[in-house]
Amino acid sequence: MYDGASQSDLQRAVGDLRVSFKRRGAETVLDGLRQAGCLKARFPRPVSAGWADVTTLNTSGGVASGDRLSATFAVGQGARATFSAQAAERFYRAPAGGLPSFVRTRIDVAAGASAEWLPQETILFDRCALDRRLEINLAADAWFVGVESLVFGRAAMGETVRQAWLRDGLAVRRGGHWLMRDAIRMDGDLAATLDRKPVADGACSVATLLHVAPDAEALLDPVRAALDGCAGEIGVSAWNGMLVARMLANDSAALRAAVAAALAVIRSPRPLPRVWMC
């Protein structure tokens, strides 16, 4: 619908969100909030004692070519916060030669603090263009769990991502030192790329789950046991105070079930954010 439009004809969405928390006694309380443009934050009633919950919203209804979204989250010393999203984020078709959408997220977790990055799935539409980066900065003793899920077309809708441009980066520092850098670079016929056995062997939904904590390696066997029997291909490794799970599935429902099973072990006994149940 946009192929005949020039770049200047299309309306762009811009969003900037900054949220910070601090500890007050046994509770985690809001320390700062700035929201501009299409990105908003809502603060539902806490489910677990001592934890603050944040639900982010993109009021533009999805991400299109040339949109620019930036979010920064800070969890102060001893505070605990969970960041989730109201719904799966959708990245729509870009016009021929159009600009990619730019998404930047930064999470800073101070000494003795805990943070969770639990957005719902990212759904990619055919011919989308996305440049996204997630930067996580942890104190040496911080606790963190995060997940990023990519769905290449909705299987239930018969969608296939034939052409797209994707740059998706994850960078993690702990105590000022690099702990992990991960990057996905894909363009052209993504369906053909995903069909290759070394890539995804035909799976159209992928996820990376990361847990960083002083005792992260002790959860390796429990997480593997929880994922045993889940649909798709799953691998879990742990080293150097970090646990990483890679997941492939044929549809987003199977992928979500596997992610939820792993999170249930890592986050026990706390339930998933309410928005995950919608």
- Which 3-state string (H, E, C) describes the chain? CCCCCCHHHCCCCEEEEEEEEEEECCEEEEEEEEEEECEEEECCCCCCCCCEEEEEEECCCCECCCCEEEEEEEECCCCEEEEEECCCEEECECCCCCCCEEEEEEEEECCCCEEEEECCCEEECCCEEEEEEEEEEECCCCEEEEEEEEEECCHHHCCCCCEEEEEEEEEEEECCEEEEEEEEEEEEEHHHHHHCCCCCCCCCEEEEEEEECCCHHHHHHHHHHHHCCCCCEEEEEEECCEEEEEEEECCHHHHHHHHHHHHHHHCCCCCCCHHHHC
Q: Is residue 8 part of a domain?
A: no
Q: Is residue 239 part of a domain?
A: yes
Q: Is residue 3 part of a domain?
A: no
* Residue 146 in this model has a pLDDT that exceeds 80: yes
Number of compact structural domains in the chain: 1
Q: Is residue 191 part of a domain?
A: yes
Per the structure, the complete domain to which residue 140 belongs is given by: 13-277
Q: Is residue 260 part of a domain?
A: yes
- 19-72 tens-digit pLDDT: 999 999 999 999 999 999 999 999 999 889 999 999 999 999 899 999 999 999
- 1-20 tens-digit pLDDT: 344 444 545 678 999 999 99
Q: Is residue 122 part of a domain?
A: yes
Q: Is residue 7 part of a domain?
A: no
- pLDDT for 3 equals 47
pLDDT-derived band at 114 (thresholds 50, 70, 90) equals very high
Q: Is residue 4 part of a domain?
A: no
